[in-house]
Amino acid sequence: MKKKLILAVAGVLSVFTLAACSNGTNKNIATMKGSTITVEDFYNEAKTQPQATSTTILTNLILNEVLDKAYGDKVTDKKVDELYKEEAKKYGDTFESQLTQAGYTKKTYRALLKQQELVDVALRAHVKLTDADKKAAWDSFHPEVEAQIIVSATEDDAKAIKKDLDKGGDFTKIAKEKSVDTTTKEDGGKIKFDSQTTEIPQTVATEAFKLKDGAVSEPITYTNSSTGSSSFYIVKMTKNKEKGNDMKPYEKEIKEIATKTKISDQQFVLKSIGEELIKANVKIKDDAFKDILSQFTAAAETKESSTKESESKTKESSTKSSESSTKESSTKESSSKDSGTEKTSDSSKTEESSSTK
pLDDT, residue 11, reads 33
For the chain (357 residues), the mean pLDDT of every run of 10, in chain order, is 38 37 70 94 86 90 95 95 90 86 88 94 97 95 96 97 97 97 94 91 95 97 87 97 92 95 95 96 93 94 60 55 54 50 44 41
Contact residues for 75 (Cβ-Cβ < 8 A; gap 6+): 68, 114, 117, 118, 121
Q: Which helix (H) or strand (E) holds 222?
A: strand 220-223
DSSP H helical ranges for the chain:
17-20, 39-48, 54-71, 77-91, 95-101, 106-125, 131-140, 155-166, 171-178, 202-208, 251-263, 266-279, 294-356
Class for the domain spanning 145-239 = alpha beta
- The pTM score is 0.70
Q: Tally Cβ neighbours within 10 Å of residue 139.
A: 8
pLDDT, residue 312, reads 54
Nearest to 82 by CA among 118, 114, 122, 120: 114
Go through 20-42 and write b for each residue having 16 or more CB atoms within 10 A of its CB, e for each that does not. Answer: eebeeeebebbbbeeeebbbebb
Is residue 15 a contact partner of residue 54, using CB atoms and an 8 Å limit?
Answer: yes
Q: Tally Cβ neighbours within 10 Å of residue 223.
A: 11
Domain 17-131+250-303 has CATH 3.30.950.10: no
Amino acid at 25: T
pLDDT, residue 320, reads 57
pLDDT, residue 327, reads 55
CATH 3.10.50.40 in the chain, residues? 145-239
- C-alpha 67/C-alpha 70 separation (Å) is 5
- Provide the phi-psi class of 283: left if phi over 0, else alpha when psi is between -120 and 50, else beta: beta
CATH 1.10.4030.10 in the chain, residues? 17-131+250-303
pLDDT, residue 304, reads 56
β-sheet bridge partners, residue 36: 31
pLDDT, residue 51, reads 79
pLDDT, residue 322, reads 53
β-sheet bridge partners, residue 233: 151, 220
